[in-house]
Amino acid sequence: MPAPRTVLLTGAAGGLGTLMRNLLPAFGYELRLLDMRPIEGEPDAIIADLADQDAVREAVRGVDAIIHLAGISLEAPFEKILRSNIEGTYHVYEAARQEGVKRIVFASSNHAVGYTPRPQGDDPLIPIDTPRRPDTFYGLSKSFGEDLAQLYWDKHGVETVSVRIGSCFPEPTSVRMLSVWMSPGDGARLFHAALTAEDVGHTVVYGSSANTRLWWDLSTARALGYCPQDDSEPFAAKLIAEQGELDPDNEAHAYLGGHFPIDPPIWPH
C-alpha cells in the first residue's frame, strides 16, 4: 500500500480533531476537514452531518485514507448515539467502500471495555482481546464501530486500525487519567503509525502514552510501529495531592471506564 497522503479528518472541529489538525500536517499529510460545525479559520472545511450519506460519500471521494473522529463523544440518549455514531459510522464505511478508500483509523474508546475491572496491585495489564464490556450506549457504539470495521475488512478489504483511546487531552486532569492518558504528540504518532503500517487488516489497539501507571497492553499499537514518547508521571504528584489515590472501595474507581459505568458524563447537545 502506498503511504497515504490525503486524509479525511472527520470531527475536525472537536477537541481531538483540533489537536490532530494542528499536529498531523508535520507528518506530511494533506488534511481534508469535515464536521457538522463550522471550524474557525478553516473556510475549506466540509460542513456536513454524518447522517447525510451523499455528503459523506462526496467528502470521501479522492482521499487516500480516513481518520474517523466525528461523533458523540460522551453518553447520550440512544437515538442520538444511533444517528451520529452508529448510522454515521456506517455511512463513513459505506462511502469508503464505494469510493475505494482502503484505510480507516477509527476512534474507538476505552468505554467499549469500560466495565472491565481496572488492574490493581500486581494484576496483569488488560489485554487487547479482553471481552467487550461497554459501559454506556456511547461505549456500545464504539463496540459496534469495531465490529463494523471487522466486517468491512473481511467482506470488502477495507483496512482499519480501531484505536481504543484512553484520554487524549493536553494534560491529564484526574488520577485515573494518569493511567489512560495519551498526550497529543503520542496521539499524532499513533495515528501516523495506524495510517502507514502495512497489512493491518482490522487491528485493535489501545491508545495511550507509555504511562508509568498504565492499565493496558500497548503491544498491538507498538507492532504498528508506534513508539510513545510521553508518560503522565510528571503530573502525578500534583494530581494525587489534590484528589488522593484511587480508592479500591469506591465503585467509581473500580472500572477501566472510570465513572462512566456509574455516573456517565452526558453529551450537552
- Contact set with ligand NAI (CB under 6 A): 11, 13-17, 35-37, 49-51, 69-73, 84, 88, 107, 109, 165, 167-168
Closest CA to 10 of 70, 60, 81, 55: 70
CB of 2 to ligand NAI, least distance (A): 27
Q: Which residue is nearest to ligand NAI (CB)?
A: 14
CB of 187 to ligand 15L, least distance (A): 12
Distance from C-alpha of 201 to C-alpha of 224, rounded to nearest angstrom: 12
Decide if residue 179 touches ligand 15L (CB under 6 A): no
Per CB under 6 A, the segment of 86-94, 98-106, 108-116, 209-217 that binds ligand 15L is 108-116
Decide if residue 73 touches ligand 15L (CB under 6 A): yes
Binding residues among 243-262 for ligand 15L as defined by CB under 6 A: 258
Q: Which residues contact 98 (CB under 8 A, 6 or more apart)?
A: 57
Q: Which of 29, 93, 138, 206 is catalytic?
A: 138
Decide if residue 91 touches ligand 15L (CB under 6 A): no
**Residue 164 half-sphere exposure, CB side, CA atoms within 13 Å?**
31
User: From the list ligand NAI, ligand 15L, none, which binds 88 (C-beta under 5 to 8 Å, kind-based)?
Assistant: ligand NAI
Closest CA to 65 of 104, 107, 122, 117: 104
Decide if residue 167 touches ligand 15L (CB under 6 A): yes
Decide if residue 136 touches ligand 15L (CB under 6 A): no
Q: What are the distances in angstroms from CA 162 to CA 9, 104, 235?
A: 15, 8, 28
CB of 111 to ligand 15L, least distance (A): 5
Grid-cell match 472541529, residue found: 13
Residue 115 a catalytic site member: no
Distance from C-alpha of 45 to C-alpha of 37, rounded to nearest angstrom: 10
Distance from C-alpha of 143 to C-alpha of 19, rounded to nearest angstrom: 24
User: From the list ligand 15L, ligand NAI, none, which binds 210 (C-beta under 5 to 8 Å, kind-based)?
Assistant: none
**Whose Cβ is closer to ligand 15L: residue 158's or residue 191's?**
191
Q: Report the amino acid identity of residue 9.
A: L
Is residue 96 classed exposed, middle or buried when 0-12, 13-18 and 19+ CB atoms within 10 A define those classes? buried
256 within 8 A of 109, measured Cβ to Cβ: no
The three cell numbers of residue 219 are 503491544
* Near ligand 15L by CB under 6 A: residue from 10, 84, 85, 110: 110
Decide if residue 111 touches ligand 15L (CB under 6 A): yes
Distance from C-alpha of 91 to C-alpha of 81, rounded to nearest angstrom: 14
Decide if residue 208 touches ligand 15L (CB under 6 A): no
Residues identified as active-site: 138
Binding site for ligand 15L (CB under 6 A): 73-74, 109-111, 167, 258
